[in-house]
Amino acid sequence: MDISTICIHGCEKKYDATGAVSVPIFASSTFAHPGVGQSTGFDYSRSQNPTKEHLEHTVTALEGGAETIAFSTGMAAISVFMELFSPGDHIVASYDLYGGTFRLFSHISEKNGITFSYAANLQEISEKITSATKAVFIETPTNPMMNVLDIAAVAQLTQLTQSKKILLIVDNTFLTPIFQRPLSLGADIVLHSGTKYLGGHNDALAGLLTVKEKDLAERLRFISNTTGGCLSPFDSFLIIRGIKTLAVRMERHQETALAVARWLLTQNKIKKVYYIGLQDHPDYAVSCSQASGFGGMISFTVNDELTAVSILENVKLIKYAESLGGTESLITYPLLQTHADLPQEEREARGINACLLRLSVGLEAADDIIQDLKQAIGSVK
């Protein structure tokens, strides 16, 4: 079955007898038992809810693997897999990460006795793995600098011996299973901020973990049920609804992003454009080898801070706001928004400076997005 069909029919389990083609929102915190020691399969919605289960089955069908667990946000999903680790454990993470992930690692996980090393490329990941390393966590492409890591090559590094493997966790928020399926490349856990492309309409928060092996999925489900950050039935419904059009949206986000990236390249106030779909992107070949598309995220630098601020203050159609992956185009200032909590030297080393902007290309017509950027750039004194 094609992935675009799986988006719509990925969960064929029926939860009611009315013939409803769209899964109902089961707004029930608890479920009555038919008898003592018996269950309908549902007991209490923190443990599982039919609408949430429908979403989880759909995402498993898209990413592959044994099971998916849905959470209230992407950060709640990350917090849950961090509970797999104990004081003294070490994690190697990709250098350029979503700012909130870095904040969780540095402000919460470190306090709990977990140590981190950050690596910019394959070579560094290999050098930083020690006998205490329990996991490698990567984001590819990275946020906001759009570096791409070879997932299969990282997976090889995590296979220490034939029988001993450390976990490889991949944040697949930017490309989604439409373009990239990390489990098929050797990852153990795939993470999504469902808030972004999966939901796709800038109207709901969600997080998802898809797990390759059943045993690990069960451990994570135990932690999820115990800590309680589950996704609500209503938000599960919104993400299911979003996913139905995911394939169509991703194609369009990408087509428009390529047009916008090419136009940005022609502007003399724009210094550098980071879009993985441009052939001169340093990781273009790796992208083509492991992903079937390039997505809708572009970062770019302008010639000075004044230009950056002026673009942010003058865009009209495009909104100056955090987040990404929705119908509305959003422009972000990583320095003051998503990556504000990074120490200054870390930020500068990553290239996150006052001239860097990140654009989530929405589903408006390419010409309208370009016209808006044009008038915003033109308004720079």
Ligand X SMILES: *Cc1c(COP(=O)(O)O)cnc(C)c1O
CB of 169: closest distance to ligand X in angstroms? Answer: 11
Rounded Cα distance, 230 and 69, in Å: 8
Question: Active site residue: 52, 96, 98, 128, which one?
Answer: 98
Size of the site for ligand X (CB under 6 A): 15
Stretch that binds ligand X, among 93-101, 146-154, 287-295, 297-305 (CB under 6 A): 93-101
Rounded Cα distance, 282 and 160, in Å: 29
Concerning whether 103 is annotated as a catalytic residue, the answer is no
With CB under 6 A as the contact rule, the residue among 68, 73, 232, 236 that binds ligand X is: 73
Instruction: By CB under 6 A, tell whether 139 contacts ligand X.
Output: yes
Instruction: By CB under 6 A, tell whether 98 contacts ligand X.
Output: yes
Concerning whether 196 is annotated as a catalytic residue, the answer is yes
Stretch that binds ligand X, among 13-21, 162-170, 188-196, 360-368 (CB under 6 A): 188-196
319-332 as b/e: b if 16+ CB within 10 A: bbebbbbbeebbbb
Looking at the Cβ atoms of 60 and 73, the one nearer to ligand X is 73
Stretch that binds ligand X, among 95-103, 117-125, 341-349, 363-371 (CB under 6 A): 95-103
CB of 27: closest distance to ligand X in angstroms? Answer: 22
Give SS3 for 191.
strand
Dihedral (CA of 144, 150, 263, 249) sign: negative
Instruction: By CB under 6 A, tell whether 334 contacts ligand X.
Output: no
Rounded Cα distance, 194 and 62, in Å: 13
Concerning whether 98 is annotated as a catalytic residue, the answer is yes
φ/ψ region of 37 (left if φ > 0, alpha if ψ in -120 to 50, else beta) reads: left
Instruction: By CB under 6 A, tell whether 171 contacts ligand X.
Output: yes
Which residues have a Cβ under 8 Å from the Cβ of 153 and sit 6 or more positions away?
Answer: 122
The H-assigned helical ranges of the chain are 3-9, 50-63, 74-82, 99-104, 122-128, 151-158, 176-179, 214-227, 233-244, 246-265, 284-290, 305-314, 344-350, 366-378
Instruction: By CB under 6 A, tell whether 182 contacts ligand X.
Output: no
Question: Active site residue: 196, 221, 249, 347, which one?
Answer: 196
Binding site for ligand X (CB under 6 A): 73-75, 98, 100-101, 139, 143, 171, 173, 193, 195-196, 205, 207
List active site positions: 46, 98, 171, 196
